[in-house]
Amino acid sequence: MIARRDLLALGAIGWMLPAWADDPLLAVPAAAEQGKLVVGRSRAGAQVRVDGEPVEVGADGAFTFGIAYDRTGSAQIEARSGSRLAHRQVDIMPRIYEVQRINGLPENEVSPPPQVLQRIHDEALAIAQARTRTTDAVWFAGGLDWPVAGIVTSVYGSQRVLDGQPRAPHLGIDIAAPAGTPIRAPADGVVSLIGSDYVLDGNLTLLDHGQGVSTCYVHQSVIAVKLGEHVRRGQRIGTIGVTGRATGPNLHWGLNWFQVKLDPSLSTPTPLPPRA
Ligand SMILES: [Zn+2]
């Protein structure tokens, strides 16, 4: 006999349990790391709130939310279905991030001129706008495959210090591979943004995987998909390049829940590929 509390502790894998498993109204992991895309399970038609804010619930009961890289404490999850109400707490597990020191950048790389700053601003706005999109698709719920085989040169959360000045943490994963190496969709999705020759990101693609979950592909040489196209897991969406601000051919791979930048390597079935 499995105790009810043990079933609840199984959290995100709740839907893998057989039908006799008490049909919980709400199943989430008891704890999750900073940067994690948390996938929970309720039931179709239930109203689910994360920290008081309503989130979408898929036809199969799947819902999701992200934990920011620097968030501490816990997330409060509530599900309501008819007169039934369930509440769970997801404790946030802090991480220790790497520090990356980069020296000797040319001056125009460190402080761009005003017209370039304006472009960077406009491009960031287009990206942020695309990340407001939400649909009831649950393509994120099956996890993410690695989009390319290569060498990881920078991990999520690295604190970058440029010429002694602390900069924003690196909230994605850099994977170096030869130029022209195919990049493949990590899950089904819809192309929600094509960015051509962006200052920082070069050729950029955003994929929408449902419920505000998106992934981004930065520095590509060739983009092989069109805006609005539905892509399948494993489909070639572009190729590794060195466009935008990149020091060599690599993919910057990002995962978002709306504007919250997450760690895609916490959603892949296999751990990080080899480090540089
Ligand atoms: Zn990067």
What is the model's pLDDT at position 274?
Answer: 73
What is the 97 CA–ligand 1 centroid distance (Å)? 15
Mean pLDDT (the chain) is 90
Same domain, 139 and 24: no
Q: Is residue 140 part of a domain?
A: yes
15 and 78 co-located in one domain: yes
- Residue 160's pLDDT band (boundaries 50, 70, 90)? confident
Region 12-20 average pLDDT: 44
Q: Among 30, 29, 34, which Cα is nearest to 72's?
A: 34
User: How many whole angstroms from 172 Cα to the centroid of ligand 1?
Assistant: 5
pLDDT at position 230 over 70? yes
Q: What is the mean predicted confidence (pLDDT) over 197-202?
A: 96
**Lowest-confidence pick of 21-30, 142-151, 167-176, 177-186:** 21-30
Q: How many Å lie between the centroid of ligand 1 and the Cα of residue 262?
A: 13
Q: What mean pLDDT do residues 211-219 have? A: 98
pLDDT-wise least confident of 7-21, 25-39, 181-195: 7-21
Cβ(165)–Cβ(63) under 8 Å? no
Query: Do 86 and 211 sit in the same domain of this protein?
Result: no
Residue that is last in its domain, among 93, 122, 147? 93
Q: Residue 168's pLDDT is what?
A: 87
* Amino acid identity, position 194: I
Range of weakest confidence among 12-21, 80-89, 141-150, 225-234: 12-21
Evaluate whether 192 touches 116 at the Cβ level (below 8 Å).
Answer: no
**Tens of pLDDT along 111-131?**
789 999 999 999 999 999 999
CA of 85 to the centre of ligand 1 (A): 42
Output the pLDDT for position 19.
42
Residues 224 and 208 in one domain: yes
Question: Distance between CA 159 and CA 13 in Å, rounded?
Answer: 32
CATH number at residue 237: 2.70.70.10
Residue 136 lies in a domain: yes
As given in the structure block, the two tokens for residue 84 are 């039934």
Task: Give residue for tokens 């070069």.
Answer: 202
- Expressed in angstroms and rounded, the spacing between residue 93 Cα and the centre of ligand 1 is 23
Ligand 1 center to 173 CA (angstroms): 5
Task: Find the domain containing 250 and state its range.
Answer: 99-266
Residue 275 lies in a domain: no
List, in sequence order, every residue forming a beta bridge with 150; answer none if it has no partner: none
**In the predicted model, is pLDDT for residue 182 greater than 60?**
yes
Residues 239, 124, single domain; the answer is yes
Residue 259 tokens read as: 């504007």
> With 60 as the cut, is the pLDDT of residue 233 above it?
yes
The Å distance, Cα 256 to ligand 1 centre, comes to: 14
In a domain, 217, yes or no: yes
For the segment 44-60, the average pLDDT, to the nearest whole number, is 96
Q: How far is the CA of 253 from the centre of ligand 1 (A)?
A: 7
Q: What distance in angstroms lies between residue 137's CA and the mean position of ligand 1's atoms?
A: 27
Does the CA dihedral 197-202-208-209 come out positive or negative? positive
Q: Is residue 272 part of a domain?
A: no
Distance 190 CA to ligand 1 centre (A): 22
Residues 118, 64 within the same domain: no
pTM of the model as a whole? 0.88
Give residue 252 CA to ligand 1 midpoint distance, Å.
4
CB 249 within 8 Å of CB 242:
yes
Q: Which among 47, 63, 93 is the end of a domain?
A: 93
Q: What average pLDDT does the segment 63-84 reach? A: 97
Residue 139, pLDDT > 70, answer: yes
Question: 177 CA to middle of ligand 1, Å?
Answer: 13
Q: Is residue 271 part of a domain?
A: no
Instruction: Answer yes or no: do 261 and 197 share one domain.
Output: yes
Residues 245 and 118 in one domain: yes
- As given in the structure block, the two tokens for residue 39 are 């996938």
Count of the separate structural domains present in the chain:
2
CA of 118 to the centre of ligand 1 (A): 21
3-state secondary structure the chain: CCCHHHHHHCHHHHHHCCCCCCCCCCECCCEEECCCEEEEECCCCCEEEECCEEECCCCCCEEEEECCCCCCCEEEEEEEECCEEEEEEEEEECCCCCEEEECCCCHHHHCCCHHHHHHHHHHHHHHHHHCCCCCCCCHHHHCCCCCCCCEEEECCCEEEEECCEECCCECCEEEECCCCCEEECCCCEEEEEEEEEECCCEEEEEEEEECCEEEEEEEECEECCCCCCEECCCCEEEECCCCCCCCCCEEEEEEEECCEEECHHHCCCCCCCCEC
- On whether residue 11 sits in a domain, the answer given is yes
Average pLDDT over residues 6-13: 46
Distance 248 CA to ligand 1 centre (A): 11
Side-chain-facing half-sphere of 135: CA atoms under 13 Å: 15
Q: What is the CATH number of the domain that holds 76?
A: 2.60.40.10
Cα 19 to averaged position of ligand 1 atoms, centre (Å):
43
CA distances from 263 to 91, 116, 213, 252 (A): 17, 29, 12, 12
Same structural domain, 103 and 50: no
Ligand 1 mean position, distance from CA 221 (Å): 16
Are residues 83 and 142 both part of a single domain? no
Please say if the pLDDT value at position 262 is more than 90.
Answer: yes
59 and 163 inside one domain: no
CA 128 / ligand 1 centre spacing (Å): 17
Please give the pLDDT value at position 100. 80
**Domain final residue pick, 93, 114, 149:** 93
The reply to whether 79 falls in a domain is yes
Residues 237 and 107 in one domain: yes
